[in-house]
Each structure stands twice: as structure tokens, then as C-alpha cells.
Amino acid sequence: MSFLDRFRKKIEDEASRIERLSKTGRMADGRIIDAESDNDGRITQVTYTYILAGVQYESSQALSPLQQQHSSDYAPGKQIVIRYDPRRPANSIVV
């Protein structure tokens, strides 16, 4: 490890990012704009939008197995709750 490696920002993996935002992210309202389903009709991935301080953000996320059990909650047009990083508002997850 070089001396400069100590000061470089570590890359966060997806599981860590989701866990961190689940615990510390601020909550906001969003809306599902698109959804992808598997062969059984369960929604597996969503694209959603939300507005913070007058700026509209759009993101997508693969749903967890628990979220997939309630796939009707993630149909296009549905209101959702998201959690976002206040320092980087484009970094968000579907709750």
C-alpha cells in the first residue's frame, strides 16, 4: 500500500451502499415510471423519478427478493418512498 492509498476514497459496493442509505438516507417521495418483470410476472427492476429542491432525478434499481414479493407496490405510476444521500442527491434507493 502506498502512502497516497490511505487518502483515496474507497469504492463502495452495492450492498454497502444500500445498507448505508437504508440507515442514514433522507426520505422523499418518488414515482415509478417503468418496471421490468420476470416470467412469473414479478417486478424485478424499476425505474423511478423524484424531485429534490426543484431538481428532477431519475434512477433505476433491481428490487430485493422481499420487494419482489410485493411487486404490485412497484407498478408504473405508483407513489413510492425513496432514501437519498443529502450530499449526493442522485444517489438513492427505493424503500
Domain extents for the chain? 27-94
Give the three cell numbers for residue 14: 452495492
Amino acid at 42: R
Give backbone dihedrals phi and psi of 18, rounded to 5 degrees, phi first: -65, -45
What the block records as the C-alpha cell of 73 is 407496490
Percent composition of the chain: helix, strand, coil (DSSP 3-state, to 5): 25, 45, 30
Q: Give percent of the chain with pLDDT exceeding 70.
A: 89
Res 93 pLDDT > 70: yes
Enter the pTM of the model. Answer: 0.84
Distance of CA 80 to the CA centre of its chain: 11
**Given this model, what pLDDT does residue 12 score?**
80
Q: At 1, is the pLDDT very low, low, confident or very high (cuts 50, 70, 90)?
A: low
**How far apart (Å, rounded) are the C-alpha atoms in residues 45 and 32?**
10
Top pLDDT among 40 and 25 is at 25
Pairing verdict, β 55-62 and 79-85: unpaired
